[in-house]
Amino acid sequence: MVGEREWDVIVIGTGAGGGTLAHRLAATGKQILILERGDYLPRERDNWDSTAVFVSGKYRAPEFWYDKHGDQFPPEVNYYVGGNTKFYGAALFRLRPEDFGELRHHDGISPAWPIQYDVLEPYYTEAERLYLVHGQRGEDPTEGPASGPYPYPPLQHEPRIQQLSDDLEKQGLHPFHLPIGVNLTQDASGWPTHDSVCIRCNRVDGFPCLVKGKSDAQVICVDPALTYDNVQMVTNAYVRRLETDASGRSVTKVVTALGDGSTAEFSADIVVVSCGAVNSAVLLLRSANDSHPRGLANSSDVVGRYYMRHNNLALMAVSKEPNPTQFQKTLAMNDWYLGSDDWDYPLGGIQMLGKSDDEQIRGEAPRWAGRAAPNMPFEVLAHHAVDLWLCGEDLPLSDNRVTVDADDNIHLVLDEKNNIAGLNRLRHKLQGMLGHLGMHEGHLLDHSIYLHKGMPIGATAHQAGTVRFGSDRATSALDPNCKAHDLDNLYVVDTSFFPSIGAVNPSLTAIANALRVGDVIAERLG
């Protein structure tokens, strides 16, 4: 019986962090139990249906959290095997070397990490290989040194995006091929070969992949890990609480609500929490006991604090020429990542989003009334849409905080204006270039359906920072190996360990770090 066995390692959560760590440990032969609150995502036509995914939010977790006014909001979270990577855009970036040091921003300091880029670099290289990342080194002026080339060639631009790349270069900028994790084999023109798993369609961003072409944590890590006899997974297994021994130094029980309504208690030598930044903090806070009155691993009182999620803008420009691109996520630009001629502070990066279609644009229409080319029918507008994503760094503020109340409701307090000056400048720079990029100058519209509009609190897709790691136990919950300072057998490997978030997508860093921590745990287990 799963519940009656003594496991070597229990991994809670199967996203970028937990899924990857379980994969790393599978080959050790140690007895590993994976607990996942969700089930497998059903494979059905709706996986690729814009209305089901974006307008109705069919797959989003059916829950509400509370903001600082006590108002409910639906968070952008998905509970399935593979976690949020089932829905992610698979843009798999490394942080810049500067992101690991202290960086001065307009609104304050982005703190240094306890490890530097060179420590994570070999794991970034392994992570890129594992998650089938396609990219091109040497194009992005901000990229750090790498010990090897990308394992797969970059995804070729389709003609309208190649034109955009050429036009950006004419402006003296350095667009580059966006690193992306897909199982695509390209022919000479960039289209899939007859035996390619990925078919290079227009559903890559925000949709789950029906044909297992996207490098998500289920396909890349959990499914292969489960081929080992020593690895087992229980789905619909919602971990409610961690209990410790009398000394408070060891987690002894993982108390779990199962899908049939029963409760089970699992135990292991090592417990790894990887529930996503908000839910990991909630689990630790909810596990308070006499030895840990503020919650597990929380003698520093940082658990739940320093929540980050990126300052995001999803925008749509309107191309003068049609944009028949299928797979649009092939280009990015970091020229102003660390600053610009007219601004001493970091602005952030620009990258392409998945191509919007007329169903998504129809969903946006009420908000755009009077602003979006009034005489353009939705289908025509969709055919001219060029979708862009601007990403700036938000700073870790102690009062940006996750808590859980006596009725088990999740509360999220967030200063939405935190460090947005750089992002506003980035938008302004893009707006000023539209005429040179073959776009209508007046139109740069917010996509609310994609990643919510602007940065309302529900945009939790890039959540991070709530169980930060560090060398000083007074200001961090985890040590540099992501083990809780206060406990001997508790690790956390989702994005909650980030002390700062940079301005690139977080998953590759969570994946690389999970490989690193996996090695630490494997060595410890002998």
Strands 176-177 and 331-333: antiparallel
Closer by beta carbon to ligand FAD, 85 or else 244: 85
* CA angle in degrees (0–180, nearest 5) for 230-233-234: 140
The DSSP code for 223 is: H
CB of 92 to ligand SF4, least distance (A): 13
User: Residue 94 touches which of ligand SF4, ligand FAD, none (CB < 5 to 8 A by kind)?
Assistant: none
Q: At which residue do the structure tokens 């002390």 appear?
A: 499
For the bound state, the minimum distance from the C-beta of residue 87 to ligand SF4, rounded and expressed in Å, comes to 11
Task: Answer for the pair 322, 300: CB distance below 8 angstroms, yes or no.
Answer: no
Rounded to whole angstroms, the Cα distance separating 111 from 241 reads 31
> What are the C-alpha distances in Å from 492 to residues 78, 147, 479?
19, 27, 10
CA 179 to chain centre: 14
Residues in region 428-487 near ligand FAD by CB under 6 A: 461-462
How does 429-454 read in b/e, with b if 16+ C-beta sit within 10 Å? bbbebbeebbbbeebbbbbbbbbbbb
Residue 214 near ligand SF4 by CB under 6 A: yes
Within the chain, what is the greatest distance between any pair of CA atoms?
71
**Helix (H) or strand (E) segment spanning residue 424:** helix 421-433
Q: How far is CA 480 from the centre of its chain?
A: 21
Return the one option of ligand SF4, ligand FAD, none that residue 347 interacts with (CB less than 5 to 8 A, by type): none
Give the residue with the Cβ less far from ligand FAD, 35 or 381.
35
Q: Is 521 in the site for ligand SF4 (CB under 6 A)?
A: no
CA distances from 235 to 222, 321, 443, 490 (A): 12, 48, 46, 21
**According to CB under 6 A, which one of 127, 182, 275, 437 is a site residue for ligand FAD?**
275
Footprint on residues 65-84 left by ligand FAD (CB under 6 A)? 76, 79, 83-84
Footprint on residues 193-212 left by ligand SF4 (CB under 6 A): 198-201, 203-204, 207, 209, 211
Pick 16 or 313: Cβ nearer ligand FAD:
16
Using CB under 6 A as the binding criterion, the count of chain residues that bind ligand SF4 stands at 13
Site for ligand SF4 in 105-164 (CB under 6 A): none
Which of the listed partners (ligand FAD, ligand SF4, none) does 204 bind, with a CB threshold of 5 to 8 Å by partner kind? ligand SF4
Which residue, 203 or 309, has its beta carbon nearer to ligand SF4? 203
Which residue is nearest to ligand FAD, using beta carbons? 15
CB of 459 closer than 8 Å to CB of 309: yes
Could you tell me how far CA 306 lies from the centroid of its own chain? 17
Site string for ligand FAD, 82-101 (x = CB under 6 A): -xxx-xxxxxx---------
Taking the complex as a whole, the smallest distance from the CB of residue 257 to ligand FAD amounts, in Å, to: 9
Asked whether the beta carbons of 220 and 132 are under 8 A apart, the reply is yes
| Interaction residues for ligand SF4, span 296-325 (CB under 6 A) | none
| 198-217 positions binding ligand FAD, by CB under 6 A | 206
Nearer to ligand FAD, 458 or 506 (CB): 506
CA distances from 443 to 200, 498, 505, 522 (A): 28, 36, 26, 53
As given in the structure block, the two tokens for residue 304 are 């739940």
CA distances from 97 to 113, 138, 343 (A): 11, 15, 20
Bridge partners of 459, per DSSP, are none
Of 22, 168, 239, 437, which one interacts with ligand FAD (CB under 6 A)? 239
Residues 503 and 310 sit within 8 Å (Cβ to Cβ) = yes
Does 213 bind ligand SF4 (CB under 6 A)? Our answer is yes
355 near ligand SF4, judged by CB under 6 A? no
CB-nearer residue toward ligand FAD: 38 or 348: 38
SS3 call for 348? coil
Q: How many residues bind ligand FAD (CB under 6 A)?
A: 38
15/392 with CB nearer ligand FAD: 15
Is residue 350 near ligand SF4 by the rule CB under 6 A? no
Reduced to 3 states (helix: H, G, I; strand: E, B; else coil), residue 318 is strand
| Choice between 211 and 255, CB closer to ligand SF4 | 211
The answer to whether the beta carbons of residues 15 and 83 sit under 8 Å apart is yes
Kindly write out the interface string for residues 325-344 of this chain, putting x where it contacts ligand SF4 by CB under 6 A and - elsewhere.
--x-----------------
Least Cβ distance, residue 344 to ligand FAD (angstroms): 28
The residue ranges that bind ligand SF4 (CB under 6 A) are 182, 198-201, 203-204, 207, 209, 211, 213-214, 327
Q: What are the residues binding ligand FAD (CB under 6 A)?
A: 12-18, 35-38, 76, 79, 83-85, 87-92, 206, 238-239, 274-276, 279, 283, 461-462, 494-495, 505-507, 510
